[in-house]
Amino acid sequence: MKVDAGNYLRPDQGEVRIDAQPVGDGGFLHQVGYLPENPYLYDHLSLLELLRFAGQACGMSAQQIGERIETLTHQTGISHALKQRLRTFSKGMRQRAGLCFALLHDPQLVILDEPMSGLDPLGRKMVCELILDLKHQGKTVFFCSHILSDTERLCDRIAILHQGRLVREFEADDLRAFRDKERSLEDEFVAAVGGGN
């Protein structure tokens, strides 16, 4: 990776494509929804104001925005908090609000960084169901997690990164094969990174 004058990390090799198109021109952004591990939300806004802002920024109609807000806030269990200021939200509620924000424009590629961070067991179950629902809709969900049981349960493909490097990839057949041998993804992770050495 190279750091440019704007302090952005630029790749020194490889290429990223979405639907076979290079991502360099930025035209792909309307297809992507992103939830960082610690989402920054405008604290002075209500959840409703935040989501309306997100929809308008994506060029959605008022009707589309209203329908998506209703669907997503119901699905994430925070429809009761639409008029509440984001500064009053707990970490779990902020995570749910961030999910609504990331999914509002119905993206084809969803990138989730530790999406279950700060969630109670009901919240974790909701995120798992949401990811499976997105998957059944034919969307691509790319998510990072340190909770290996979540990745085993939800993913068709898994990549293990250690110290910023890809050390092992698994396809669905690989996962089934080592389950048959009574090995866990945790066992495979430890083997892939050399026991932490």
Tell me: pLDDT of 197 over 60.
no
User: Do 139 and 109 contact (CB within 8 A), yes or no?
Assistant: yes
Class of residue 16 by CB neighbours under 10 A (exposed 0-12, middle 13-18, buried 19+): exposed
Q: What is the mean pLDDT of residues 47-74?
A: 96
Domain ranges of the chain: 21-155
Whether residue 69 contacts residue 104, with contact meaning beta carbons closer than 8 Å, is answered with: yes
Among 84, 78, 68, residue whose Cα is nearest residue 33? 68
Whole-prediction pTM: 0.82
DSSP 16-53: -EETTEESTTSTTGGGEEEE-SS----TTSBHHHHHHH
Report helix, strand or coil for 196. Answer: coil
Interval 103-122 mean pLDDT: 91
Give the pLDDT band (50/70/90) at residue 158. confident
Dihedral of CA atoms 132, 134, 136, 138 in degrees, nearest 10, equals -140
Phi, psi of 141 (to 5 degrees): -115, 120
In 3-state terms, what secondary structure has residue 9? Answer: strand
Other C-beta atoms closer than 10 Å to the C-beta of 113 total: 15
Distance CA 42, CA 14 (A): 35
The pLDDT score that the predictor gives to residue 139 is 94
Given a cut of 80, whether residue 127 has pLDDT beyond it is: yes
Q: How far apart are the C-alpha atoms of 197 and 194, rounded to whole Å?
A: 6
| Eight-class DSSP state of 62 | H
Q: Does the pLDDT of residue 155 top 60, yes or no?
A: yes
Residue 105's nearest CA partner among 170, 161, 57 is 57
Alpha helices in 58-161 (DSSP H): 62-76, 91-103, 121-136, 148-154
Fold of 21-155: Rossmann fold (3.40.50)
- Residue 140: pLDDT band (50, 70, 90) is very high
